């Protein structure tokens, strides 16, 4: 089930909302959020609901162990064992076939006739996200950052909350605990206003902007070998904006859904394409993921409190893990390493970079990000190599995607992205005219969904 699907909008969401606020008591609402989360998840594949339940139960009881025991060995066991099991499950479903394929390629490279058959494995949707939720809960509990909850349904509702279950944001328990405890004291009218505003804006970003761009560039990239240099640049600029509005749209809709149920979901984007450095970009893009990588990978490795070469190692390992987290493909590994090298390079040359004009800093940073998205978008390394070669070594072909409608659309969304406010910088207390325009665009989204099958959000695959 998709946020931008008619069954969700007309049936699932209204029923879930109305029943939630008719219930009294926090625990009954936790139970309802848990049940609806599993129903939402089961629409994808109900066979994976037991896996989600197992992971939730394991982390909950490990948290209870951390709460009850002071013995260091027992506490370490409560931390290490469930995290190891969660990671093994994630590796099995997400990376086993990639590993088998890589072993086969290596065998062929050294002259061995070894080609292991891939396993018939279906990737559970959202497994990377809810695994991160469980790990962050256990690590924060072990460190004493939070007190593990005694209420199972409170924890279960946190893990299975449908607004952030399958594609984030990666909400840490400490960020949402206070809201879960104060559901009875929510200003429902003010939250409802914000919910409608965030959700409508997110829907517009996804349906009217991201999907419109995709309609032009996806067919062209399916035959990428025939594209000219100008076509490739147009496609990759289009994908840069498509990915942003697709994922930012999903995140804004998740924030809106959180407000509907009295929960403040943290922001996940802060105008990333207005960044002046790569470090600044990663403080603005997919904020929840980068903060988790920083707190649970980079800092435990030593962060920036060690020798310079160790700082570089820590950055590269962190970004490599970030790339691998996105998927089992060499393109994601190279994408992560590329960003790691950029971060190391910017750290070494930050004094020189700071002397450049601000506009040049932002333009160059954006250009480097577009190159990164070229690797990220590619299906394999051959495609990435071809696209990058076409981008930097001019090749003339008959235009394939140089449509004036696409060019105009990219100019409009580019101007807004680089110069305009983001969703969290808006007041969300609209006057009649702005509210009417927002409603009009939202109705346009609904009409589009009636005529066309809703497209999945790009980050669902991760």
- Distance in angstroms (rounded) separating the CA atoms of residues 382 and 221: 13
335, 446, 411, 435: which is closest to 380 by C-alpha? Answer: 335
Q: What Å distances lie between residue 424 and 2, 206, 267, 269, 284, CA to CA?
A: 23, 17, 7, 9, 12
* pLDDT tens, residue by residue, 114-138: 778 888 888 898 899 999 999 999 9
CB atoms inside a 10 Å sphere around CB 275: 20
Q: Which portions of the chain are predicted below pLDDT 50?
A: none
- Distance in angstroms (rounded) separating the CA atoms of residues 338 and 158: 34
C-alpha triplet 176, 44, 181: angle, nearest 5°: 15
Q: What Å distances lie between residue 248 and 4, 12, 185, 272, 284, CA to CA?
A: 14, 22, 29, 10, 11
CB atoms inside a 10 Å sphere around CB 254: 27
What is the torsion angle, in degrees rounded to the nearest 10, for the CA atoms of residue 166, residue 163, residue 18 and residue 29? 90
What is the torsion angle, in degrees rounded to the nearest 10, for the CA atoms of residue 435, residue 441, residue 445 and residue 448? 150
Residue 402: its pLDDT value, please? 66
| Sign of the CA dihedral with 243 first, then 267, 95, and 155 last | negative
347, 336, 237: which is closest to 289 by C-alpha? Answer: 336
- Residue identified by tokens 């260091």 is 72
DSSP label of 201: H
Helix (H/G/I), strand (E/B), else coil: 402 = coil
Q: What Å distances lie between residue 226 and 220, 238, 271, 386, 398, CA to CA?
A: 9, 17, 33, 10, 9
* pLDDT tens, residue by residue, 7-52: 899 999 999 999 999 998 899 999 999 999 999 999 888 899 999 9
φ and ψ of 241, to 5 deg = -75, -35
- Residue identified by tokens 């625990």 is 27
Would you report the helix, strand and coil content of the chain in percent, each value rounded to 5? 75, 0, 25
User: Which helix (H) or strand (E) segment is 314 a member of?
Assistant: helix 308-326
68, 408, 452: which is closest to 238 by C-alpha? Answer: 408
Residue 111: its pLDDT value, please? 76
Q: What Å distances lie between residue 375 and 174, 196, 210, 217, 253, CA to CA?
A: 35, 36, 19, 16, 27
Active site residues per annotation: 326
Residue 407: its pLDDT value, please? 87
């Amino acid at each position: 089930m998709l946020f931008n699907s008619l069954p969700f909008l007309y049936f699932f969401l209204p029923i879930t909302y109305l029943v939630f606020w008719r219930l009294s008591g926090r625990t009954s609402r936790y139970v309802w959020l848990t049940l609806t989360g599993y129903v939402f998840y089961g629409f994808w594949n109900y066979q994976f609901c037991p896996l989600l339940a197992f992971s939730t139960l394991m982390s909950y009881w490990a948290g209870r162990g951390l709460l009850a025991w002071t013995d260091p060995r027992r506490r370490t066991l409560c931390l290490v064992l469930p995290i190891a099991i969660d990671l093994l499950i994630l590796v099995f479903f997400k990376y086993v076939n990639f590993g088998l394929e890589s072993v086969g390629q290596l065998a062929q490279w050294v002259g061995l006739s070894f080609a292991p058959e891939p396993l018939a494995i279906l990737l559970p949707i959202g497994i990377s996200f809810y695994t991160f939720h469980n790990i962050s809960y256990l690590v924060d509990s072990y460190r004493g950052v939070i007190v593990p909850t005694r209420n199972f349904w409170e924890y279960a509702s946190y893990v299975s909350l449908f607004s952030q279950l399958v594609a984030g944001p990666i909400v840490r328990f400490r960020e949402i605990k206070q809201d879960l405890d104060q559901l009875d004291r929510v200003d429902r009218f003010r939250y409802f206003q914000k919910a409608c505003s965030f959700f409508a804006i997110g829907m517009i970003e996804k349906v009217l902007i991201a999907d419109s761009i995709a309609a032009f560039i996806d067919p062209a990239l399916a035959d990428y070998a025939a594209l000219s240099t100008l076509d490739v640049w147009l496609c990759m600029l289009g994908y840069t904006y498509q990915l942003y509005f697709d994922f930012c749209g999903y995140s804004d809709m998740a924030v809106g859904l959180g407000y509907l149920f009295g929960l403040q979901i943290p922001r996940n984007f802060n105008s990333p394409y207005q960044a002046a450095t790569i470090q600044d970009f990663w403080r603005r893009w997919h904020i929840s993921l980068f903060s988790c990588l920083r707190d649970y990978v980079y800092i435990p490795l030593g962060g920036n409190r060690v020798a310079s070469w160790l700082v570089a190692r820590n950055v590269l390992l962190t970004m490599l893990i970030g790339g691998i987290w996105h998927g089992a493909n060499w393109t994601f590994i190279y994408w992560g390493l590329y960003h790691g090298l950029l971060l190391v390079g910017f750290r070494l040359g930050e004094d020189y970079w700071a002397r450049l004009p601000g506009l040049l800093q932002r333009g160059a940073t954006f250009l480097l990000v577009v190159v990164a998205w070229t690797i990220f978008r590619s299906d394999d390394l051959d495609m990435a190599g071809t696209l990058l070669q076409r981008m930097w070594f001019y090749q003339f072909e008959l235009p394939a995607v140089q449509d004036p409608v696409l060019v105009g659309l990219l100019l409009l969304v580019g101007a807004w992205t680089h110069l305009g406010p983001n969703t969290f910088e808006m007041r969300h207390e609209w006057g009649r005219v702005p509210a009417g325009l927002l409603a009009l665009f939202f109705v346009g989204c609904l009409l589009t969904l009636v005529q066309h099958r809703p497209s999945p959000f790009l980050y669902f695959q991760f």
